[in-house]
Structure 1
Amino acid sequence: MISTMSDAPTLWCGSTLVVFDGPRRLIWRPVSAGRWSLADLWPTARQARQVTDHIEDGGAVLVLVDEEQIDVPMYAEEVAQVPESLAARITVDGDLADLRIPALDWLPEPLRERGRTFLRDTDCHIDRQPDLLLPHLLVEEPGQTPCNLRFARIRHPRPLNNDRLRSAADHLFAPAEATLAMMEAAS
């Protein structure tokens, strides 16, 4: 999901810094009425250092991740307006281009790997559960080091429909149906 042009990549909730990893990291600037141009990618080296300093000083940081890699589609003609610092992240295929944003690439390596492990673990969890039975926010278990850094994944609500209900009902009652079938077979 592409963020709006006004979504900030960070948010302060009291003394907790919330970081939105993914498309919200894109910094846009208006170029004319209703037109925007990509200006940069959050964070700068200074901003990344401020986040790690906040963690090292004991401040709480919650990082909301989307996917292991986000590809932001754009038109090839827009590529000429992209800052030089982002050029290596762009692949062009005819009239279309993709800006690749690897998750957590702004964090120091051990923290980046911890976050990517969380992403892989939640991918497995999401694959095993019916959509309707999953929480809207999947949060990393406490106990990791540093403990003042947590990763979470927002799952955007899905519309309620018969297929999702059927999947949830099958999942919820599959053990009972298996037990009933075993009891019938034994008798």
Structure 2
Amino acid sequence: MVSGAPNRLAAFGDFIGLQAAHLFPLAKEMIWRANDYRCWVMDMDDAPESSRINSIQNGLLMSESLHSCFDQYLFSINPDDGYKIISFVPDNWGVDGRILELPCREPSNPHHVSDELLRWHFRQGVLANMRGAGEPTFDNDFPPRRDQMAVLRSEPYGKERLEMEVSERLKCATQRSENHAH
């Protein structure tokens, strides 16, 4: 839906190589709850304990490589410019200037991606890519043969990165154990 490349195996239920990318990161759920961003999602139950952060409206399906770039705010989608995809760096993926495909943004579809969440992600992308502004984005991998804790201690945002890494890994472990329980 982002790259325009068709998944010819979808008819067989095969989505290998595709991932759901969250517009608002799961690792920032406390910020999501504190700002009541659940009001930007309309396709889930209104149970008071539900944060709705895992709604389909908070995600887009894309290739693994695009997912990584999207999470690093290397490109985003501007809902206020006709859902145009904007690359903030040289476009190695062929997405810059493309328009998000209609099924993702069709207002009559109750699961269409949230304009507010697209706008939030786009603004974060602008901030992350302005010289000297915004929060840092972190590499997904640590340098080879390096002590991960030593790397985190030496980084200016090491504490934040450690919190994010622990949160992500705990969520993955929790999801795996829940899936095995069913």
**Relative to total residues, which structure has the larger helix share, 1 or 2?**
2
What is the TM-score of this pair, normalised by structure 2?
0.25
Greater share of strand: 1
